Structure 1
């Protein structure tokens, strides 16, 4: 897709729009309009020229080598919701996708009914839905130059934990994976740095974490981890594209590594910036344990300038 050049005043207007629509003030109910407007984020986009692509173009008059600019930026592929009560996804318009069923009901936290004890046992449902802001985002990203196509399809359900009961509620078979049994493997945060939020495995809805925001973030990380890989023991569809000449899509998401993906908070606070877990920003606790983030993924691409792709060179 060739990026259409837009005059600078429009870029300024987009910047003002994102400042107004995606401020760090506490948000109201999450809806599609709010999610679409959140895609106008220069911080999350992180547009960069990273190299040069070489193409061989041949015609009746002969062959020549042509070049095109290689760019890299992030794309909001999906919305990942992490919420306590089954059937109550904070994104209201898609709530009917993940209603309770005979194998997935209720939810919430464990309790000892003793006020002096911390409630450590948490359970979160998780849904991964295609980001609805693709068309607006494409206009926004093309104002910076040539832009790359993401893989997410608007409103596509990539993972619904209510349909993934054996893995999500019983941790089968991942409860016996080495990543789940050996401390220090695949963790969100650091034990030595006293910033451990939780472990990625087993990738289900249960974990022990006294902070509800951190519990929601770890479960969102687990859901993102699943859908960005193929052949996982879950009921889901991968959010992955295949590489082709002049196009390098995002790969597997890895915790704490922004080069594989980053998160934009949508609720309980709407943010115009992206980050990875763990982070040092203010953690706003949701009243009903409902959280949602947009998952932005990195893509690189360059415009086709010939019949044969000869390769690319990246700048240091």
Structure 2
């Protein structure tokens, strides 16, 4: 199993892709082609050989134990958009999925736009839609070795806040959850470090935050939190795969924990790297209040080499 960037031709391809990505700015519309090209990111992929799997292989002449390499890497499962104006998802090709309807019409801030107003009520819509990279990402990742399959299906809507009106716009029933009422529970950032971006609960579109970028990030985290869990009080589809022999899919997304998922900014600036919220990277405020990130999730797997999976051993 070769590590990343072993072949000169592969290094050249990745260098060119990185230069193209780093040259992209907010002047580019967020379209499918841009999103697909963004998936060529070694930093976000983070491909690693992490262990060995053992398989029992049997024939009519007897049985033997075979091994295969266990790998771990991230996969861009979905594009999560967080935007102020209902019906104006920044990803232009999927905008028609979340147009205004009788129960979800308007959006935007709840009060004035003064930057020094500490009680500024903001509102964001959110959409979670399957990442479109598909075969482009598969070819890129397979250059490193054996690869895992993600949970996302391209262009599949996993959460459209315009269809989740009761929970997204009225915070029912999560407004009375302990996570929503007790300070310090499920928060993005820290109070002691004076870097509190916002609270995960209630997982709706409203929050109080003077920084629009941070508002968009918190709402994106809330949407990701919902779709990576089952049986939540929202209108959505779970973005989860089922574990099986030799396959360990990503679980629930947890804020500030990169081992559960990380974010690649797509707009208003296009990033070549991934991070968790909160982060210290430069933050560009979107003029229309629309943001989008690719949600990369960790998967581990190994190639099947027998009829019976005996287990795996991870390297220290």
- TM-score between the two structures when normalised by the length of structure 1: 0.96
Q: What's the CA shift for 1:112?
A: 4.2
| 1:100-145 deviation digits (Å, cap 9, x = unpaired) | 0000011011224778745611000000000000210010000000
SS for the counterpart of 1:104 is: coil
> Aligned-residue CA RMSD in angstroms?
1.9
d(CA) in 2 for partners of 1:152 and 1:78?
A: 6
Please state if 1:282 is matched with 2:282.
Answer: yes
Conserved? CA contact 1:225–1:252, under 8 Å = yes
d(CA) in 2 for partners of 1:313 and 1:7?
A: 25
Conserved? CA contact 2:116–2:210, under 8 Å = no
Q: What is aligned with 1:8?
A: 7
Please state if 1:232 is matched with 2:240.
Answer: no
Q: What is aligned with 1:208?
A: 208
SS for the counterpart of 2:65 is: strand
Please state if 1:20 is matched with 2:19.
Answer: yes
Conserved? CA contact 1:21–1:34, under 8 Å = no
d(CA) in 2 for partners of 1:14 and 1:238?
A: 34
Conserved? CA contact 2:112–2:120, under 8 Å = no
Q: What's the CA shift for 1:29?
A: 1.0
d(CA) in 1 for partners of 2:5 and 2:19?
A: 21
d(CA) in 2 for partners of 1:100 and 1:87?
A: 6
Conserved? CA contact 1:18–1:272, under 8 Å = no
Residues 259-298 of structure 1 correspond to what in structure 2 (within 5 A)?
Answer: 259-298=259-298
Residues 95-174 of structure 1 correspond to what in structure 2 (within 5 A)?
Answer: 95-112=95-112, 117=117, 120-174=120-174
Question: Structure 2: which 5+ runs fail to align?
Answer: none
Q: What is aligned with 2:49?
A: 49
Count of residues in Structure 1 that have an aligned counterpart in Structure 2? 314
Q: What's the CA shift for 1:21?
A: 2.8
SS for the counterpart of 2:196 is: coil
Please state if 1:198 is matched with 2:198.
Answer: yes
Q: What is aligned with 1:38?
A: 38
d(CA) in 2 for partners of 1:115 and 1:128?
A: 29
Conserved? CA contact 1:110–1:119, under 8 Å = no
Q: What's the CA shift for 1:26?
A: 2.2
d(CA) in 1 for partners of 2:285 and 2:155?
A: 26
d(CA) in 2 for partners of 1:116 and 1:153?
A: 42
Q: What is aligned with 1:300?
A: 300
d(CA) in 1 for partners of 2:146 and 2:24?
A: 33
Q: For structure 1, which segment, 149-158 or 115-124, has the greater mean C-alpha deviation from structure 2 after superposition?
A: 115-124
Q: What is aligned with 1:70?
A: 70
Structure 1 residues 42 and 283: alpha-carbon distance in aligned structure 2, compared to 1, 3 A threshold: same
| 1:38-58 deviation digits (Å, cap 9, x = unpaired) | 000000000000000000000
SS for the counterpart of 2:22 is: coil
d(CA) in 2 for partners of 1:78 and 1:315?
A: 30
- TM-score between the two structures when normalised by the length of structure 2: 0.96
Q: For structure 1, which segment, 148-157 or 119-128, has the greater mean C-alpha deviation from structure 2 after superposition?
A: 119-128
d(CA) in 2 for partners of 1:115 and 1:45?
A: 37
Conserved? CA contact 2:115–2:210, under 8 Å = no
Structure 1 residues 112 and 151: alpha-carbon distance in aligned structure 2, compared to 1, 3 A threshold: closer
SS for the counterpart of 1:309 is: strand
